[in-house]
Structure 1
Amino acid sequence: MFACWGTVAHRFRSTSLILVLLTAVAGGVWGLGVFDRLGQGGYDDPASEAARADEIGDAALDAADADVMVLYTAPPGRTVDDPDMASKINVKLEALPRTEVGAVTSYWRTPVPDLAGQDKRVGLAVIGLAGDDPNAKLRSYEQISGELQVAGVPTQVAGEMPMQASLQERAKRDLALAEAVSMPIVLVLLVLIFGGVVAASLPVLVGGLAVFGSLGLLHLISLFTSVNVFAVNVASLLGLGLAIDYGLFIVGRYREELGQGRRGVEAVRRTVASAGRTVVFSSTLLIIALAGLLLFPQGFLRSLAYGGMSAVALAATISLTLLPALLGLLEHRVDALALPWHRKATEGTSEGRGFRQLADKVMKRPLLTAVPIVVALVILGAPFLHGRFGTPNEVMLPSGDPARQAVESLKRDFPAMSDKDVRIVLRGQGEAPPSPKDVERFQSEGTEIRGMQELRPAGARGAVVVFNATLEHDTYSDRSARAVQDLRGLTPPPGTEVLVGGPTAENLDSLRATSQRLPWMALLIVGATLVLMFLAFGSVLLPIKAVVVSALSLSATFGVLTGVFVDGHGAGPLGITPSPMEDGVLVLMASIVFGLSTDYEAFLLSRMVEARAGGASTAEAVRTGLGRTGRMISAAALLLIVVTGAFATSGILMMRFIGVGMVLALALDATVVRMVLVPALLRLLGDAAWWAPRPLRRSQAQVPIDEAGPAEDADEATRLTEPVECSAEITGPIAPVPHPAETTLPIAPAPRPIRRVAPAPRPAETTRPSTSVR
């Protein structure tokens, strides 16, 4: 199947090149409009109890939207009751365009105590913006953001829309900076890895087109559903990083084929049949892992799933179409502009002597090597068991950001507006509200809950009675969570539904929704990994080992992140404000890191299986596999670390969390885990690593995904330059020496004879000399 695709890609190389370039560029140009459609929010379960409490409570109180909250501080020696200050503020608020502003409530229009600080030094204006959705309201805010300052009166602007505007601007700026920093570094590293400018530029070209094209896909997605502002960053991170990695695999394998004397369609065919299969396996597994995010109700995760899946699919598609076409056009010129000391880089095979020696050392004492590593990974992952989780808030922004400082001032001067508030809704049956006696009893019982201050009546309408309360402890602390749970555990008045909302309740509901669906996501990812790896390698134990090792690597990464971002160890030098982790980001990272870990595992095992199919012992297969892929895996991880490391410098805490987490995961997985732990475990498993029950082996043999076998002679390579009917019948693993069908090896699938489709007979007069073999 993949050999067939390589033949087709080579035959139509010029057409493929033009079509891919035009599509990616046109899509990217159109996709620049996605930045005007990005939104914020979607971190909570819209069907949760907390969401219903807020919705019903707002309707009962006829609460106006509080999209923007402006804090006006009185000059020294004055208070907010100063007539001159009041006149200036009222004039400014009256001048706001009614096309952009729905409602304005301020202390100077409605002098209620809640709209002024306790010392009357700060007053508050609450603005509701025009617009039916967050994007429309954000555009309205952009129109008035410069009209809120009052001369001589210190002003701070807080609220959801200022936060969203700041996040969107920083996300766009961080994206541009990350790409500007990472791309030159990646190009330099690729030049050093490949030893030539032309070969190095190909993965960078693919990466750039993948990032550009992903904007077009996100713009298309935004026409049908809301797209979170972070979806662009995640899509760019995955598109750029994976496209470069895929380009590295494909170009590296093509140069290896050149080094073994193959040319033309044969080199492209074998490259796509081997490295192309790895790309398809990796992208398929990652897309399935990201599809697991669609199981969750949070719009934030669904948005990131759409962006991530599109970026991965695009990176793989460009790699499997554009690169074979370019390689077919360049042929041996792929090594043009080579560095002087690398001019003979393609001669011979790509065995890595250092990695073979490492494999030998590991396999001499496999148990002594594996046990300490497993213990260390478990210890590193232990802090995650005590991690705290919360909803994104102002700490996502840098400490010096004006929007964050405004929110912190709002919480300090107006505690009633802080996120410690709890909303309690009592809704009677039909139109009848609960009796005053029952309401009073419930209010008294709620006030007695430990960690909960007095329940304050907020208003009533129809059958609904609303209370507000303030928590005594931090919003996301265990004591606040217990207080909300105790409040929900109170016996409701007869015939009355009690709903508890507020940030703490929203966080609890979000965690509950995540924990309920997490096992299904794990089942999807693990099941897909086991099935795909079995189909690829024909072994039962290899996929199980891959899942266990990837889970250990992932848990260790999360443990280190918990120590830094939650517990604050080393947070100071990194400029991080310790805070609870966002559960949605952890789910996103789990899917990405697990997929990438299995990707490197598949690349490593593919060469081991090739060696095993060639008659090698388990030890020799491990030695050969690590020798042939160790350098490439290390290079791929290093390049992806550079790309993700650029995002670790982001001013947005969420993107920094993802960037640092990816760097940790990749560095750990591509070094200690894949280079040391995996060879040790395979040595301990011995020949059992390649075992599969006979019925499963026969089933796997029917799936036409094996790599194409080598040409047996120059005549075969010559014939392949002629028109050939591609067929799934071109099967059989690549091996140095093909085995006959009757050869029995302790590996599944058993090697099969290479069945080839012969070209149609040609008339004698059409015979031409074979010019395609150099």
Structure 2
Amino acid sequence: MFARWGAAVHRARWTVLISTLVITILGGFWGIGVFDRLTQGGYDDPNSEASAAAAVAAGALEGQAGDVVVMYRPSEGRSLDDPEVAAAIMENLADLPSEQVESAVSYWHTGMPQFVSDDGTVGLAVIGLVGEDDDEKLTAYEEIAEDLIVDEVSTQVAGGVVAEHAIGHRAEQDLIAAEIVSLPIVLLLLIVIFGGVVAASLPVVVGGLAVFGALGLLHLIALFTTVNVFAVNVASMLGLGLAIDYGLFVVGRFREEMDSGRGPAAAVRRSVATAGRTVAFSAVLLVIALSGLMLFPQEFLRSLAYGGMSAVALAALLSLTVLPALLGLLGHRVDKLSLPWLVRRRQRSTGEGWRRLADGVMKRPGLIAVPIIAGLVLLGSPFLNAQFGMPDERVLPADDPARIATEALKADFPQMGGDGIQIVLQGDGAAPDEAAVGGYLAEVSEVASIDSVAPTGASDEVIVLEAQVDGDPFGDLANQAVRDIRALDAPADAEVLVGGITAANLDSLDATAEMLPWMALLLVGATLILIFLAFGSVLLPIKAVIMSILSLSATFGTLTWLFVDGHGSGLLGVTPMPMEAGIIVLIAAIVFGLSTDYEVFLLSRMVEARAGGATTEEAVRTGLVRTGRVISAAALLLVVVTGAFAFSGIQMMRFIGVGMIIALILDATIVRMLLVPAVMKLFGDAVWWAPGSLRRLQERVGLSEVEKPEDDAESVPSDHESAGDAGRRTTDRGASTS
């Protein structure tokens, strides 16, 4: 199937190349408009009790609650009640445009004590923005942000909309910085790997097209549903990284086939049949893995699925169309602009190092496998005590003005910080009975770890209470307080809804935990089926799943140790805080898919050798010699691309970047190069076994590629190369990458 596809692409190479490029580039230019449609939020379960509480409270507190909180501190020698200070602030608030500002109340309007700090040096203004949703309010804030500054008065601006604005701005900056940093480094590494500029540039071109085209797909998706701002970052990271990895596989195999004496047509056909098949399997597994995010109700996770699936699918499509077409057009010219010293070094390379490694591992497989498995389990152990929470101001750098302002607000005005437990009492056609509410309020105040509870607003049918809790809003005390409040009996003739950031996080975790088994079933089931159909073995897919689980557990344990427990937080420049469960699910999907990608590439060469009559030990050795360098290079390139996000100003993206680096290093070295050969040696010939009925099914499906004897005509010079060029081909080209 893949051989036929490669032959078809070569025959229509000009048509394939031009049409695909035009569609991708035009779609990418149109896709730039996606940045105007990206949203923030979506981390909670929209069907949860906490979401219902937030919706009811927003309606009841309309005009009473603010989207932006401004803290004013007069200059030294002046007080909050200084007439000039009061006049300047009130005039500033009055001049805010009504097109963006719905309401503005302050200490100077009301004289309310909750609008002034305990030491009397800071006064508050609470501003409500015009807008039906968070995106419209974010736009409104951008219009007035500079207008909130008052001369000779220190001004700090906090609030959920302000934090969202800061996160979105930094996300866009990180995206640009990551690509500016990673692309030149990747190109240099590819030049070293391939020994030439032309061959090295092909994966980078495909990577750039994949990222650009993914913007068009995301823009199309954003026309119909919500897309979070981080979807673009995920699309960029995966699109660029995987397209470069896929390009490495395909270009490396093409050069190997050309080195063996085949002409461009036969080389393209064989490259797509082998490396292209690996690319297709990798992309299908990754898309299936990322589609598992669609099972969860949180819009944030769905957005990451949109970005990841778009990028992966496009990276694979371009690697199976544009790249083979370019290779067919270039032929032996793929090695133009080669660097002689790199070519000579590659020509001298015999793979002896990988052969010695394979022999050493298979000589004492048990001594290799047992310590590695024990070490991976030990690395994963910290994850058993992980804490989970939703993004807050701590995801921003410590010196970010929005974070500084929010931390100051929580310190001086805890009731305004947004960390409290929101309790909504909703009557049936009328406000709840005052006496019953008073009794209920007294019960809430008796709940362990509740510092205080007080009304924050009301309407005809609704009363909103706010309970303050000691410590981290995602800590055990706060979580238990929410559970205890929900367990209380509601006042007579009233319905109680408990919300706030702690309750929203608990509800989101419950929704995530409910769907995790289904996602795990999807990942494991897809891996078992596809690897079986690829290789016709029962044990190989089971082994692949177990290896992926070990890699994942070790990665999550290390991330917990670093980001939650805080070991090395100073070196990483992060604030220890609970992990966002959605990011864990995303990393699980990506790492599971990528680990299977390297597994398929490694096993493909082992199965080829086995089909040629090699023993199990010889097949393992051949697979490692043929793919060890390529897998290591692919992992290194992906580390560079994803590692650029490890320097992000947003802790969530830094978490993803560091997590990908850890996972890739563990998987491409310890697991694939040591543990897999050791386990296969221990299994022996049983590793290839499958019941006859299943093997016949696998053969009928036709996903395996059996190498057929090539026609001599396929090795003669094509119409794009002279006989002299063909003669020089094997002397001018460096050794194959795989």
TM-score (normalizing by structure 2): 0.95
CA shift in 2, pair 1:419/1:519, >3 Å:
same
Q: Distance in 1 between matches of 2:424 and 2:259?
A: 73
Structure 1 residues 194-213: aligned runs within 5 Å: 194-213=194-213
Q: Distance in 1 between matches of 2:436 and 2:90?
A: 44
Unaligned runs of 5+ in 2: 728-738
Counterpart residue number, 1:34: 34
> Is the 1:419–1:475 Cα contact (8 Å) retained in structure 2?
no
Counterpart residue number, 1:190: 190
Counterpart residue number, 2:216: 216
Out of 644, 651, 656, the residue aligned to residue 649 of structure 2 is: 651
> Is the 2:395–2:651 Cα contact (8 Å) retained in structure 1?
yes
Q: Distance in 1 between matches of 2:507 and 2:255?
A: 53
Counterpart residue number, 2:126: 126
Q: Distance in 1 between matches of 2:558 and 2:583?
A: 15
Q: Distance in 2 between matches of 1:434 and 1:415?
A: 27
Counterpart residue number, 2:733: none
CA shift in 2, pair 1:63/1:269, >3 Å:
same
CA shift in 2, pair 1:716/1:176, >3 Å:
closer
CA shift in 2, pair 1:554/1:420, >3 Å:
same
Q: Secondary structure at the match of 1:71?
A: strand
- Aligned-residue identity in percent: 61
Out of 441, 449, 452, the residue aligned to residue 451 of structure 1 is: 449
> Is the 1:266–1:720 Cα contact (8 Å) retained in structure 2?
no
Counterpart residue number, 2:352: 353
Q: Distance in 2 between matches of 1:604 and 1:450?
A: 56
> Is the 2:263–2:718 Cα contact (8 Å) retained in structure 1?
no
Counterpart residue number, 1:154: 154
Counterpart residue number, 2:229: 229
Q: Secondary structure at the match of 1:225?
A: coil
AA in 1 matched with 2:618: E
Counterpart residue number, 2:6: 6
Out of 505, 509, 512, the residue aligned to residue 510 of structure 2 is: 512
Residue deviations 1:580-621 (CA, integer Å, cap 9, x gap): 111111111110011101110111011111111111111111
> Is the 2:418–2:501 Cα contact (8 Å) retained in structure 1?
yes
Structure 1 residues 530-679: aligned runs within 5 Å: 530-679=528-677
Structure 1 residues 327-476: aligned runs within 5 Å: 327-343=327-343, 352-428=351-427, 430-431=428-429, 434-476=432-474
Q: CA deviation at 1:479?
A: 1.4
CA shift in 2, pair 1:128/1:459, >3 Å:
closer
Counterpart residue number, 2:488: 490
Q: CA deviation at 1:719?
A: 13
Q: Secondary structure at the match of 1:268?
A: helix
Structure 1 residues 75-114: aligned runs within 5 Å: 75-114=75-114
Q: Distance in 1 between matches of 2:270 and 2:651?
A: 44
Residue deviations 1:718-769 (CA, integer Å, cap 9, x gap): 7999xxxxxxxxxxxxxxxxxxxxxxxxxxxxxxxxxxxxxxxxxxxxxxx9
Q: CA deviation at 1:374?
A: 0.5
Q: Distance in 1 between matches of 2:460 and 2:663?
A: 55
Q: CA deviation at 1:230?
A: 1.0
Q: CA deviation at 1:125?
A: 1.3
Q: CA deviation at 1:64?
A: 4.1
Cα RMSD for the two superposed structures? 2.1
AA in 1 matched with 2:280: V
Unaligned runs of 5+ in 1: 722-768
> Is the 1:3–1:708 Cα contact (8 Å) retained in structure 2?
no
AA in 2 matched with 1:215: L
Q: Distance in 1 between matches of 2:418 and 2:457?
A: 20
CA shift in 2, pair 1:473/1:715, >3 Å:
closer
Are residue 273 (structure 1) and residue 273 (structure 2) matched? yes
Q: Distance in 2 between matches of 1:682 and 1:376?
A: 19
AA in 2 matched with 1:588: L
Q: How many residues align?
A: 725
> Is the 1:243–1:319 Cα contact (8 Å) retained in structure 2?
yes
Q: Distance in 2 between matches of 1:11 and 1:331?
A: 13
Q: CA deviation at 1:432?
A: 5.1
Residue deviations 1:655-707 (CA, integer Å, cap 9, x gap): 10000100010011100010000100111111111111111111111112222
> Is the 2:63–2:103 Cα contact (8 Å) retained in structure 1?
no
Q: Distance in 1 between matches of 2:88 and 2:246?
A: 61
Q: Distance in 2 between matches of 1:705 and 1:344?
A: 38
AA in 1 matched with 2:708: P
Q: CA deviation at 1:148?
A: 0.9
Q: CA deviation at 1:58?
A: 2.8
Residue deviations 1:57-88 (CA, integer Å, cap 9, x gap): 23234354522211111222332222111110
More helix per residue: 2
Q: CA deviation at 1:218?
A: 1.6
AA in 1 matched with 2:475: S
The more displaced of 443-452 and 2-11 is 443-452
> Is the 1:244–1:639 Cα contact (8 Å) retained in structure 2?
yes
Q: CA deviation at 1:433?
A: 5.0
Q: CA deviation at 1:162?
A: 2.0
Q: Distance in 2 between matches of 1:29 and 1:551?
A: 39
The more displaced of 602-611 and 111-120 is 111-120
Q: Distance in 1 between matches of 2:536 and 2:676?
A: 18
Q: Distance in 2 between matches of 1:97 and 1:522?
A: 51
Q: Distance in 1 between matches of 2:130 and 2:493?
A: 38
Q: CA deviation at 1:438?
A: 3.7
Residue deviations 1:402-425 (CA, integer Å, cap 9, x gap): 111111111111111123311112
